[in-house]
Chains A and B, each alone.
Chain A
């Protein structure tokens, strides 16, 4: 009886977390806000569902594989969120008018304004041998600015940023 109640509460909680992800995906205004809705409730939702399974089953032999399943998600979901978020930021899939503060943009613009500095740093992230950790996929911010002055791509310059700002997320 008590077991049934606990399982029911855990299942409903987990399902509500999935619903949170769905609601966030539909209602949030730009890609990066949607990523918050997609990654975080999922982690808790899976935890609640796995707990429900463990309580229902009541076998200790099951615990390691459930822990493994959750740990895999803990390890992978921030990495994929970071990769998608970085790609989104670099291809300007965010609405700048919704940001109250953007300290990364300052860095990218400054790196673009000083071409010598930017070019000098270009080789260093790729050439670094210690690339074993997932975080290393995140190369330095200067890298984003290197092709600004050289190739004349729109993302280096501040005036272009203003023109592209409203465009990618505008259709939501």
Chain B
């Protein structure tokens, strides 16, 4: 039996899988039910083709702020937010940092590859990521050659990307995989002026000897290694657990994991796994409703989307030109977007920089986001967000100012903008206390900050 399509459950599904729903979207979900809604969410025929962004592709064209702005805008404005949400999942699963890659273009290329393949077969995804230029630089694969295998990529391929640490493989398997993965050189190395499109196997640098891997012996290359990995039950359950962790937040029971592993393993398709997970009763248990802390980037995307904020959308402009444009628009009285640095500074304030995951294991999880530094950052970002909304005379901000003395309406409006349909008496009492007669500006900024940091919004 399908989970009940209550407003609470539908709002939960839309927050976890699609950056939150508007009241109309939630009502629609209640009407058609969870299963039909999940089908709609992953209907790729509705997905916009992102293709290449407008900037001329080439090394060093994108700066980090532009990349971050592109990412948030793409997510916030998409007609298929679940597809973009999945791209965000994959970008964290294969966490690659510009700290070492240094070339935002290459990271963008990786994300577009992941978006393109993300709903399909997992072995296709692994083979593509093995050839991905940003990944090759990030985990040193392009430097690994016969006689001198570099274990960096081979280890994380199994530990973090497909099987889980020591879950059905040994250090000897890592060594064998590293040998099989020698010779994947980049066609054009970073810094030489041309953009590397993909890595290819260079025979002169590849180890053609026999390798023993997961019990099989053969003259394996990287694709063979992937094929051997994805046959494994450990891989099916591990991938299911990674999705559960980032969509549900909790630790799944063995029974749920086994079911999801079956659903995924039969065809190795990610859309099978997502459907099984998001229509599973366990996904709608109270523990899961309260089981996931919204990451800062996710919170900013939800805010930009929920408040219908139009972001700067022309990657042909440099950031300086965009700044000038913004100032001119503001003077003309028609400021309608946040600047690129608005996105970057908001997430950075909360200790998350798009394109800079802390390490290959990806972004922190749940209570790690609640230490005093990050909690302070959320409060500051909430204030900054409220300030920005009023500063650009955004229509939602204007509505909030006009209704500042109607606390229940103000509260309901703010919660709704974050896709939240139920909240606690405690939060209600806090927002009542935030009301300052005679000071609409302070009342609205404080209320936004309180909602921004409330458990109802902080829990995704």
A and B assemble together: no
